[in-house]
């Protein structure tokens, strides 16, 4: 069961992005190139925390130790984008089942509103997505979301869409992430790397 990042965690810097899963074939005869975007793109992160004394950082140390390397999972996110740039609002839901790809029909938004903008995140069906085109709802509160990466599985009709504090399930990159540096004045420096994890 994934756990939450410690309450009050403070990020000094974050490197957050997506590792795509692309296949490339270059013909040895003609040099022609063919590419294919395959399923399996994953969000990755490097979190560097604000330097603090032991009493202020102990909860993070316990969090990292409790994960037991990549065995445990937690809810990760882009700390710079926990709320949308668009107006959001309403109670957005998936409109219709059996949807796939990089667009999603939705409803439940405020009418005729710029609800999401490029670079906003949302979570649906436990999948973390980034909006790739500005989204405006119609007069009935419907909106078609364009995003990346593509859906791994089809969400159910009326599945909820989370636009405030969306998250993805992540694990530590390897067994070398649960350590920290301590300087001569007793301040702790902690950096850890994580990658999205999911099961088919």
Tell me the mean pLDDT in the region 167-172: 98
- Quote the pTM value: 0.91
Provide the pLDDT confidence category of residue 3 given band limits of 50, 70 and 90.
Answer: very high
Kindly state the percentage of the chain with pLDDT values over 70: 100
Please name which of 151, 196, 148 lies closest in space to residue 169, comparing C-alpha atoms.
196
pLDDT in tens, 43-90: 999 999 999 999 999 999 999 999 999 999 999 999 999 999 999 999
Tell me the mean pLDDT in the region 3-22: 95
Please name which of 128, 131, 146, 102 lies closest in space to residue 196, comparing C-alpha atoms.
128
* pLDDT value of position 4: 97
Give the HSE-up count for residue 36: Cα atoms under 13 Å, Cβ half-sphere: 6
pLDDT in tens, 100-122: 999 999 999 999 999 999 999 99
Residue-range domains of the chain with CATH: 3-77+167-196 (3.30.200), 93-162 (2.40.30.290)
Separation CA 115–CA 28 (nearest Å): 48
Q: What are phi and psi of 6, to 5 degrees?
A: -55, 145
Task: Give the chain's length.
Answer: 200
* pLDDT value of position 85: 97
Q: Decide if pLDDT at 39 tops 70.
A: yes
Q: Decide if pLDDT at 38 tops 80.
A: no
């Amino acid at each position: 069961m994934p756990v939450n990042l410690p309450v009050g965690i403070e990020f000094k810097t974050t490197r957050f992005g997506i590792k795509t899963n692309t296949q490339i074939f270059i013909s040895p005869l003609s040099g022609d190139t063919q590419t294919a975007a395959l399923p399996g793109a994953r969000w990755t992160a490097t979190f560097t925390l604000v330097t603090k004394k032991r009493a202020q950082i102990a909860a993070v140390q316990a969090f990292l130790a409790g994960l037991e390397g990549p065995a445990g999972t937690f809810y990760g996110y882009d700390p710079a984008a926990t709320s949308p740039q668009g107006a959001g609002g309403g109670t957005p839901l998936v409109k219709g089942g059996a949807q796939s790809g990089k667009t999603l029909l939705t409803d439940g938004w405020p009418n005729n509103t710029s609800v999401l903008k490029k670079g906003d995140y949302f979570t649906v069906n436990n999948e973390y997505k980034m909006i790739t085109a500005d989204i405006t709802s119609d007069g009935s509160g419907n909106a078609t979301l364009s995003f990346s990466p593509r859906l791994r599985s089809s969400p159910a009709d009326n599945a909820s869409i989370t636009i405030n504090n969306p998250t993805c399930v992540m694990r530590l990159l390897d067994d070398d992430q649960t350590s920290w540096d301590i300087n001569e004045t007793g301040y702790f420096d902690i950096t850890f790397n994580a990658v999205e994890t999911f099961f088919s």
